[in-house]
Amino acid sequence: MKELFTGILIAAPTTAVILLFALSGKNEVMTSQERHHVDQQLAAELFDGQFDAAWAGSKLSPDQENRSRRIKKLEERKNEFDEMFNQQFAKSQADVLELRAAIQNHEQKISSEHDIQPYKR
């Protein structure tokens, strides 16, 4: 019974770390996909506007105003996703540094308890 509880105590933090990385990675992928989708829509709107302007010459199309509004909204969304992506990247870097520190502390604790020299990289 004691071995079972020891196994659970060892596996629980590892499982929590794996779940944390899986969920944060999923959010980063979803943000990246949305960001890419908005970039594609923005590029398509800009191309359509340039194509219509070149095709019509100097005449202004009635759709030009609507297109300008859509482009403005897409640029705002793009900026929002860029900021969100930068925040997630900074958070993931901080998480990695924190995890490295925790691993080093754990290695030092184990080596001091068992008088084992840590592995040098």
pLDDT digits (tens, 9 = 90+) for 22-78: 666 677 777 788 888 999 999 999 998 888 877 777 666 677 888 889 999 999 999
Predicted local confidence at residue 66, as pLDDT: 87
Chain segment 101-121, per-residue pLDDT in tens: 877 777 777 667 665 555 566
Nearest-angstrom CA–CA distance, 3 and 35:
48
Chain segment 67-101, per-residue pLDDT in tens: 889 999 999 999 998 898 888 888 878 877 887 78
pTM: 0.56
